[in-house]
Amino acid sequence: MSRAHDPAVDGLPVRDLLTRCAGTPLGDLSLQAGASGLSRRIHQVSLQKTGLALTGQPQYLEDGRVLLFGRSEVHYLAALPEDERRRRLQDVLRPGLPCVVVTAGLPIDPLLAEVANARGVPVLRTEVLTAATLVALTAVLDDGLAPMVTLHGVLVDILGLGVLLLGESGIGKSECALDLVVRGHRLVADDAVEVTRRGGAVLVGNSPPLTRHHMEVRGLGIMNVQDLFGVASTRQSMQVEFIVRLVRWDSHTEYERLGLDEATEPLLDVEVPVVTLPVGPGRNIGILVEVAARRHLLRARGISAAQQLSARLDAELQGGDA
């Protein structure tokens, strides 16, 4: 069971932007005008800082993008006659504009506040300089607008490799993760794994804050892994690079015997290497998952035992034919 969410489609409300900026270099970002428009939504990570829009060419503005007002924009507006300034601001503060961010602690033009309140366009201000605001705000939006899916699974760090364990409820994902933690690996998330796509093709998984560091094991109940095994037994997030699907053993099913080819499956439109491990009596799944992760790391270095054996067999057969 999974729940997908693409904020780039739904948009990030301006009020959520203010919340997300807390604890960042833009922690002082505050609302100055246009409070009725806090539900306006941001749809793009990239910001716009186009002086052309203020010179009577608002067609250069793009809907869904935050507009920055730096020193040059504020000073340009201040030099215009009041009637002209009002007209330019009315052209710029249009329905598709999510908000305006005034940087460097510059004063808020009363006319800007008036038009913003009338149009319901939030005006925010920060003491941070324009260049630094551009970097920090882009980082906040990149996180807030990243495509995300919540999966029923377990994410563990095995030798620096983010391994996502998937399978039906009760198949033993948590027990497998507990075995891996005892063997010195680290838990990232149990039961609910939030996976976001960053930078185009990088998948990052973490645990919802409410359940972070916790695990449920049938027969034992809920436990805090960090309390049991120390701070080194957990981590907050991890790049998802490998998937292990646990399935119930079925004697009528053909499972991989050679391992020559590595399958993949899409996750948020990113192809991720995957192996399927059948769970049955007498099989130590924790050890098998660790070996699968070690084999994947070796393959990333160009080392494949199956391919090496296949090459030797081919050489033997060719030698025999000769």
Residues 184 and 290 in one domain: yes
Per-residue pLDDT, 319: 72
Per-residue confidence of the chain (322 residues) as pLDDT tens digits? 455 556 556 789 999 999 999 989 999 999 999 999 999 999 999 999 877 778 878 787 899 999 999 999 999 999 999 999 999 999 999 999 999 999 999 999 999 999 999 999 999 999 999 999 999 999 999 888 988 899 999 999 999 999 999 999 989 999 999 999 999 999 999 999 999 998 778 999 999 989 999 998 888 899 999 999 999 999 999 999 999 999 998 877 776 666 667 889 999 999 999 999 999 888 899 999 999 999 999 988 887 766 777 677 777 777 766 5
Residues 161 and 130 in one domain: no
Which of 170, 173, 186, 167 has its CA nearest to residue 225?
186
pTM: 0.73
The answer to whether the CB of 161 falls within 8 A of the CB of 139 is: no
Phi, psi of 156 (to 5 degrees): -130, 155
Residues 40 and 84 in one domain: yes
Residues 220 and 124 in one domain: no
Residues 175 and 234 in one domain: yes
Which of 38, 240, 37, 49 has its CA nearest to residue 137?
49
In the chain, % helix, strand, coil (3-state, to 5) comes to 40, 30, 35
Domain boundary among 144, 166, 187: 144
Residues 221 and 273 in one domain: yes
Asked whether residue 263 is assigned to any structural domain, the reply reads: yes
The CATH number of whichever domain residue 233 belongs to comes to: 3.40.50.300
Residues 124 and 159 in one domain: no
Residues forming the active site: 152, 173, 191, 257
Domain boundary among 144, 174, 192: 144
Per-residue pLDDT, 57: 80
Asked whether residue 321 is assigned to any structural domain, the reply reads: no
Residues 52 and 184 in one domain: no
Residues 201 and 300 in one domain: yes
Query: What is the separation, in whole angstroms, between the first and last Cα of the chain?
Result: 56
Q: Give 233-236 contacts, CB < 8 A, sequence gap 24+.
A: 233/181, 233/186, 233/187, 234/186, 234/187, 234/188, 235/157, 235/186, 235/187, 235/188, 236/188, 236/206, 236/207, 236/212
Asked whether residue 318 is assigned to any structural domain, the reply reads: no
The boundaries of the domain holding residue 218 are: 148-308
Based on the structure, what is the number of domains in the chain? 2
Asked whether residue 193 is assigned to any structural domain, the reply reads: yes
Asked whether residue 137 is assigned to any structural domain, the reply reads: yes
Which of 204, 138, 185, 137 has its CA nearest to residue 286?
185
Asked whether residue 101 is assigned to any structural domain, the reply reads: yes
Domain boundary among 116, 144, 172: 144
Residues 129 and 170 in one domain: no
- Distance between CA atoms of residues 36 and 224, nearest Å: 43
The CATH number of whichever domain residue 111 belongs to comes to: 3.40.1390.20
Per-residue pLDDT, 315: 77
DSSP code string of 64-111? TS-EEE-HHHHHHHHTS-HHHHHHHHHHHS-TT---EEE-TTPPPPHH
Asked whether residue 132 is assigned to any structural domain, the reply reads: yes
What is the side-by-side strand order in the sheet with 67-69? 30-33, 123-125, 100-102, 67-69
